[in-house]
Amino acid sequence: MALHWLLAIGVIAQWRLAVAGENAASEAAGREIMGNHFSLGVVVLLLALARLAWRLVQPNPPLASHLAGWERWLARATHTLFYVLLIAMPLAGWYAMSKYGNGVDVFGVVSLPALPVASDPEGAGRIFELHAAAGVALLVVTAIHVLGTLKHTLVDRDGNLFRMLPFGRPKA
C-alpha cells in the first residue's frame, strides 16, 4: 500500500517537474528542474522495482468476484502497463543521458555513471521523445486507473477503494 501511494506521488511530481523544466524561464533553471526530474526518476525506478519484487512474493488479493470480464482484463492490463512504464521510462532516461555522455546525479547523494554506450546526441533526443510519449501513456493509464476507482466507489459502491487506503474498512 505504501509503495502504491509513494509511486503515485512520484508520478505526479515527475509529471509536474517535466512540464516545469520544459517551460522554465531560463536554460539554467530548466537544467536544475530537470536534474530533480532525473533524480526522482531513479527513486521511482527503485520504488517500482521494490513494488514488483513485493508482488512476486506477496501476490495481489484476488479481484472481486462481481467484476465483469472486461473489468478484470482492464485491471490486469493497466497494472501491467504501470510496471512496464515505471521501469522502462527511468531506464530510457538514463540511457538517453548516457548517449549524451552524462550519468545521472541522484540529489547529490549518489551518481549513476553513464552507461557504456556510444555518444549519439541525435539518438538521445529520439529516446527522450519516446520517453515523453511514454509519459503521456502513463498519464492515460493513470486516468483509466482513477476512473476505475471512481466507478467502483461512486457507482458500484463495492468498497474496492478501501483495499488501497490505510484507513477505513472494505465493504463486507
Confidence check: pLDDT of 171 > 70: no
CB atoms within 10 A of CB 60: 11
Instruction: Using the predicted structure, report yes or no on whether residue 93 has a pLDDT greater than 60.
Output: yes
Those residues with Cβ within 8 angstroms of residue 85's Cβ, 6 or more apart along the chain or in another chain? 134, 137, 138, 141
Kindly state the average pLDDT of the residues 10-21.
96
Q: Which domains does the chain have, with CATH numbers?
A: 2-164 (1.20.950)
Lowest mean pLDDT among 34-43, 60-69, 76-85, 133-142: 60-69
Segment 32-42, tens digit of pLDDT: 999 999 999 99
Determine how many CB atoms are found less than 10 A away from the CB of residue 5. Answer: 12
For the chain, what's the residue count?
172
Q: Which tens digits make up the pLDDT trace of 144-169?
A: 999 988 888 888 787 777 777 777 66
Supply the pLDDT for residue 169: 61
Structure confidence at residue 73 as a pLDDT band (50, 70, 90):
very high
Q: Binning pLDDT at 50, 70 and 90, where does residue 67 land? A: confident
Mean local confidence (pLDDT), 116-145:
96
Burial class (CB in 10 A: 0-12, 13-18, 19+), 61: exposed
Closest of 87, 15, 23, 77 to residue 53, by C-alpha: 87
